[in-house]
């Protein structure tokens, strides 16, 4: 009996490539979401949750159009956020990134992610398949959490648009990372959203 958590970053959006700005999916983002739906079709999802932001909502809608058995629901715990500010251990190279955010942003992000961990990283009985359509930083925080890495390590984890990360927990065992940022369903020209995309 295993609890699977499928974490997906939304498709590419039109208004911003980085940061917390929102916008509708780009034509590439629509194609990414459709290919992701094909990849996930056939999985027996018990629940599908998505960030209420437009780019994640549209990604969820495309999946639902191609996967009629699912009924995606918005969840505020999956909003885009910045989980921490600079910590004592954060390398100084990351300091410029934090300059556009306030202490209130950091506090809100940390509280949100604490609630998200308590909501979603909780073992449920039986075989469970849950899909979360969310944002890069949220997925990074989940992965950092289950690996027990230092808080600042979320900054070093990145997901492509419509990349797939899978976490799993068997009864009596800790969570494990099954796959991270799997983009096998995306052709090279649709592999967007990463600082660097390898050619293979």
Q: For position 159, what pLDDT does the model report?
A: 96
Domains recognised in the chain with CATH numbers: 2-190 (3.40.50.1240)
Alpha-carbon dihedral angle through residues 57, 36, 6, 46, given to the nearest 10 degrees: 70
Q: How far is CA 149 from the centre of its chain?
A: 17
Neighbours of 101 (CB within 10 A): 16
Band (16; pLDDT cuts 50, 70, 90): low
The predicted-structure confidence for 81-107, as pLDDT tens digits, reads as follows 999 999 999 999 999 999 989 999 999
Percent of the chain clearing pLDDT 90 (strictly above): 88
Angle (nearest 5°) at CA 189 between 187 and 194: 95
pTM score:
0.94
- Residue matched to tokens 């999985």: 43
> Which residues, 6+ apart, have CB-to-CB distance to 137 below 8 Å?
80, 81, 82, 83, 109, 154
Task: Choose among 76, 95, 72: nearest CA to 152.
Answer: 95
Band (18; pLDDT cuts 50, 70, 90): very low
């Amino acid at each position: 009996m295993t609890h699977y958590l499928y974490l997906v970053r939304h498709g590419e959006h039109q208004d911003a490539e980085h940061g917390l700005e929102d916008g509708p999916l780009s034509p590439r983002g629509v194609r990414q979401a459709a290919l992701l739906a094909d990849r996930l079709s056939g999985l027996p999802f018990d629940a599908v949750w998505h960030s209420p932001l437009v780019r994640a909502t549209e990604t969820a809608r495309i999946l639902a159009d191609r996967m009629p058995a699912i009924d995606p629901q918005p969840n505020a715990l999956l909003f885009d956020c910045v989980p921490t500010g600079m910590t004592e251990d954060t390398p100084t190279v990351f300091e410029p990134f934090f300059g556009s955010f306030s202490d209130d942003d950091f506090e809100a992000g940390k509280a949100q992610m604490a609630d998200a961990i308590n909501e979603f990283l909780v073992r449920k009985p039986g075989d469970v398949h849950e899909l979360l359509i969310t944002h890069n930083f949220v997925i990074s925080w989940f992965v950092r959490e289950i690996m027990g890495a230092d808080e600042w390590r979320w900054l070093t984890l990145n997901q492509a648009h419509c990349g797939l990360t899978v976490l799993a927990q068997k009864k009596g065992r800790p969570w494990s990372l099954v796959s991270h940022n799997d983009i096998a369903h995306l052709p090279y020209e649709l592999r967007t959203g990463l600082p660097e995309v390898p050619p293979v």
